[in-house]
Amino acid sequence: MTADRANEDVDRFNRWAADYEKHPLQRLIFEPIQKSLLELASAEVPHPRAILDVGCGTGKLLRAASARFPGARLDGVDAAPEMVRVAQAIAPAGAGITFRLSGAESLPFGDGEFDLVFSTMTFHHWADQSKGVAEVARVLAPGGRWLLADFIASGVMKYVRRVFRLTRFRERRDLYPMLAASGLRVIREQKVRGVGRQVPVLVIGSV
């Protein structure tokens, strides 16, 4: 993605932040995805010490994670300043969630800090996906899992993507080598009920 396009995305999410959690897409798409992701996370890493949400938006997923994983350290980063501001403002007192301004390409954390990393419908907004993947691999603890939910073109949509040059949306043939270059692989995947097979939740771990 070009830098201009990435900046346009950030500007759009800044404008959207105040009403983000009221948008119909929450009920139709984001909530089913987040529910499936949290169920998979519980099965893969039942007792995580630390969880990171990359592209956390207003923090809705981390608020749900705080109830499911009591005692876990919870961190969220987002490239849109207004999303981070709203997330900080509405986080319940005592929830233990920290929100920071950061893109995926330069995560402000040390190596191997997180047992779980979440990315829901944000990967296609990353300015440099390869660099972001490398950063997730760096902060992921040994045996940890990255749960990635995004539009992954398959079937006829692969050809639609190619015709219209929708390069921000990846196919498996693009994504898997990118993961392998950072020592990662897809371990399993799950469809999200009601959302369709174009948006799976991928469970990613080290090779």
pLDDT of residue 27: 83
Q: For the chain, give me the number of helices (H) and strands (E)?
A: 8, 9
Whether pLDDT at 17 is above 90:
no
Specify the CATH superfamily of domain 3-206. Answer: Vaccinia Virus protein VP39 (3.40.50.150)
Question: How do residues 44-58 score in pLDDT, each as one tens digit?
Answer: 999 999 999 999 999
pTM: 0.91
Whether pLDDT at 152 is above 60:
yes
> Considering only CA atoms, which of 108, 175, 185, 109 is closest in space to residue 146?
185
Query: Residue 164 — very low, low, confident or very high, per pLDDT cuts 50/70/90?
Result: very low
* Contact predicate 165/183, CB 8 Å: no
Question: How do residues 84-137 score in pLDDT, each as one tens digit?
Answer: 999 999 998 888 899 999 999 999 999 999 999 999 999 999 999 999 999 999
pLDDT of residue 169: 78
| Domain locations in the chain as residue ranges | 3-206
- The highest-confidence range among 2-11, 20-29, 126-135, 166-175, by mean pLDDT, is 126-135
Whether pLDDT at 160 is above 60:
no
* Measured distance CA(53)–CA(184) in Å, rounded: 18
Span 150-178, mean pLDDT?
Answer: 73
Q: What percent of the chain has pLDDT over 70?
A: 90
User: Which class for 194: exposed (0-12), middle (13-18), buried (19 or more C-beta within 10 A)?
Assistant: exposed
* Least confident interval from 2-16, 48-62, 154-168, 189-203: 154-168
Whether pLDDT at 158 is above 80:
no
- The highest-confidence range among 148-152, 164-168, 185-189, 192-196, by mean pLDDT, is 185-189
User: Which class for 107: exposed (0-12), middle (13-18), buried (19 or more C-beta within 10 A)?
Assistant: buried
Mean pLDDT for all residues in the chain: 90
